Structure 1
């Protein structure tokens, strides 16, 4: 996940860990952008891993996991299915899911690739704590525009974090790892955990996991 290496997300983690908003209570993450259907679109083919949750929702899911540093349980999920894509009964155009972490922190994540949306992506994360709130925008393309708004009982301030694209910092980290100057942030288990949660969200929403969609297609 390229976003994880940008100074914007590093700053978000620094603010949370500083305790400025107190213990976290509720997290909200969203990634929505218009992705119209066309013949052959892999995002609209379930057997190829299509669906809004797979393409977009995997990011807010990873945001909340990275902030919390632990794994949640999927409490509920609901979706809007495609009416145009071939096999659209298994394609989620919009998905909403509720997660719960061990310390009773709740996270609501959402995503959509519906036709009525703007081509300008909404990539937002809101972290609500006992003493304040952090609102972040621009997590996927922070080099184009980003904003952090910190609100507490005593203050309200906003800032943007300068920098290059997320991929630039991801590549720098890879270089440091290859040169022995750094260790990978996460291992393969992180990707597996994210995918297992995606599977559970699909199941809670009444859809097949993308792996089962692929198996089903192979038997046809």
Structure 2
């Protein structure tokens, strides 16, 4: 007779709005995991009551000291990701850390080193990577369906009007279009094309706080003789929501629309030898797929594609894009 199902308990580090879609709702659709605690410096009890969470803490240290928490979800501002993820790892917790992973590659290396020394896991929450749509893209390239690929264009735009002091618009908090949105296209391309890319150029528009409102970068990946790639991200007020990838190869073109939130509707247009085919792939929300992958990996010990060196490599590309665009980010070293 099979034993009782293992139940994983999650603690929310910060009462972030994203936690509802990313964790709370997917948890409600499973019977082997529960959100047991939340820590917030401002409204922990109200957040807990609103979301039916048993324990509320007024400090992050209290949540990390809770022996009933197995997995910490870190959705604090990016500027706080490194320190509090390291603290959670040292407290014996596994961590699911929101993107962008840290402020830069140096911080990412520090976090990964802490995971190795603590024997715990830290996984970056690139939720889209775990959806069947992203798997379809990677498989299409790996199988050589397009022939040799020579061009890639990756974009994630989403209007976010500038308000001074808010998370996505202040450099010292980890704000900016590349950090908030562009990290996704960077990760798509890195997941598709092996090897470290060279950033050949980058340009940005900035807000009054000095964060990038938009970013465009040109990269070259060493994959298959060299792939020219463009990464674009914009949160300029009024820009249409768009997350799309276009791959151009010897035999044709693959255009995928709405990679980040495919369950809300997406399309795949594959044109081979002049013949177009339009399709979709079945799947649940990206966050449901992510939670399933994380729980399975923690229970079996199997590695995940969005942990370890993967997080360092993504932050390394982001650092290089900012440097090419002329940003001085030395304060975050």
- Shared topology, TM-score over 0.5? yes
The residue aligned with 1:197 is 317
The residue aligned with 1:44 is 169
Q: Is the 8 A contact 1:48 1:214 kept in 2?
A: no
Structure 1: how far apart are the matches of 2:331 and 2:255? 36
The residue aligned with 1:116 is 238
Deviation at 1:23, TM superposition (A): 1.4
- 1:17 pairs, out of 139, 142, 145, with 142
Q: Name the TM-score, length of structure 2 as normaliser.
A: 0.59
Deviation at 1:20, TM superposition (A): 1.6
Equivalent residue runs for 1:10-159 within 5 Å: 10-82=135-207, 85=208, 87=209, 90-102=210-222, 103-118=225-240, 121-159=241-279
Q: Is the 8 A contact 1:134 1:151 kept in 2?
A: yes
Structure 2: how far apart are the matches of 1:197 and 1:11? 24
Structure 2: how far apart are the matches of 1:196 and 1:3? 20
Q: Name the TM-score, length of structure 1 as normaliser.
A: 0.88
**Greater C-alpha radius of gyration:** 2
Task: Give the match's secondary structure for 1:175.
Answer: helix
Structure 1: how far apart are the matches of 2:274 and 2:234? 35
The residue aligned with 2:308 is 188
Of the two structures, which has the highest relative contact order with CA contacts closer than 8 Å and spacing of 6 or more? 1
Gaps of 5+ in 1: 216-220
Count matched residues: 206
Structure 1: how far apart are the matches of 2:144 and 2:320? 32
Structure 2: how far apart are the matches of 1:214 and 1:184? 27
- Detail structure 1 runs of 4+ shifted over 6 Å in the superposition: none
The residue aligned with 1:218 is none
> What RMSD, in angstroms, separates the aligned Cα atoms of the two structures?
1.5
